[in-house]
Structure 1
C-alpha cells in the first residue's frame, strides 16, 4: 500500500503536525505500507488560486504542466491521507484550493451526461484527520455535519473515492483534550491498516 499524506497547516509546532508525525510513525511500523510520500502544502508554497483566462482555460486544467507532479502523486497513491485543522467549520482554504485545482474534469472525474459523473480516482481510499478548538460534537450538532458531508460526499465520493475514514478531534486547545490518547489512536490505526 502506498500512502500520500497531504499536510495543511502553516506551523510545524502545531498539533496537526504532531498528528502528521503519528501517521508517518504508524505507517513506517506497518509492513503493509511500502512507501509514504508527504505533501506539505504550505512548505511547498502550493498556489491554491484558480486562474482562468484567454491562455489558461478550464477545459485544459487536467493537463496543466504546473500540476504534473501533484497529479502523479494522486495516481500513485492507494490511500490519500489529509491532515488539517478545522477553521470556520471547514478545512483551510489552502487544502480546498488544492482540491479545486487537482480535482479537474478529465483527471479526477469525467462528465457522462447523467446526474453524476464518472469518478476517475476509483479504487483509492481516504482518511481525513482534523483538529478543532470546539467540542467534538460541534460539527454534528451545530453545523449539521457540514465538514464530513463536504469532504466525503461533495469532494471525495464525486471523484470515485468511496471509502473515507474520519478522525475528527475536538477540544484540542483544552488541557483536557486527551492529546496523547488521540495521537496514539492515529498511530495505532496506521500501524494496523492493511488495505
Structure 2
C-alpha cells in the first residue's frame, strides 16, 4: 500500500513528530511511504488571487502540482497535526486550500458536488491539550468531525478510516505515548 503522510508541526522534537516518526518506521517495511513535512518544506499556505484564477482555468502552481501528484499516488493519506484553536495549523489549512482544488479534489456537475479523490483512505491523528471528554462536553469533537472529516475529506470523496485524538498531549506520560503508538500500529495492521 502507498502511504502519504502529511505532517504539520513546526518542531521535530514534538509529540506529533514522534508519532509521525513511529508511523513511518512501522509502515516502511511492508509499504511505500512518502512524508510531506509542510514546515520543513516551507510550503506556502497562502491561497492567492493568482491561485484562484489558475484554478478556474484548471491550472495550478508548480508547488501544488507536486503535492497533487503525491495525493494521486497515495492509497492512504495520514494527516498528523495538533489541534490549535479547535482547528488545524494554518499551514495545513493553506495546504488544503491550495492542493485540494476545484477540478482536482471536487467539482460540480449540474449543480451537484462530486468528490474526485475516491478509492483513497484517510487517517487523521491529532494531539490536543484538553481531554477528549472536555472536547465532547464542549461539542468541539463534533465541530472538528463536521468541518474536517465531512467538510473536507468526505466532501472530496475520501474515505475517513479513523480520526484519533491523543488528548492531554502536553502532559502525556511515556507509558501513555507507548499506548498511543501501539493503538496506531493496530489501526494500520487492519488496513
TM over 0.5: yes
Change in CA separation of 1:187 and 1:58 when aligned onto 2, cut-off 3 Å? same
2 CA distance for matches of 1:129 and 1:8? 11
Q: Deviations over 1:17-48 (max 9, x none)?
A: 0110121122124x3x2x10000000000000
1 CA distance for matches of 2:161 and 2:129? 23
- The number of residue pairs the alignment matches comes to 189
2 CA distance for matches of 1:164 and 1:151? 13
Secondary structure (helix, strand or coil) at the match of 2:39 reads coil
1:143 aligns with 2:125: no
- Contact 2:51 2:61 (C-alpha < 8 Å) held by counterparts: no
Secondary structure (helix, strand or coil) at the match of 1:43 reads helix
2 CA distance for matches of 1:36 and 1:26? 10
How much has 1:86 moved relative to structure 2?
0.5
More helix by share: 2
How much has 1:178 moved relative to structure 2?
1.6
Equivalent positions of 1:14-33 (< 5 A) are 14-29=14-29, 31=30, 33=31
2 CA distance for matches of 1:26 and 1:78? 17
Using the size of structure 1 for normalisation, the TM-score is: 0.89
Return the match for 1:181 from 157, 171, 179.
179
Change in CA separation of 1:55 and 1:75 when aligned onto 2, cut-off 3 Å? closer
Q: Structure 1: which 5+ runs fail to align?
A: none
1:3 aligns with 2:3: yes
Q: Structure 2: which 5+ runs fail to align?
A: none
RMSD after superposition = 2.0
How much has 1:67 moved relative to structure 2?
1.4
1 CA distance for matches of 2:34 and 2:102? 24
Using the size of structure 2 for normalisation, the TM-score is: 0.90
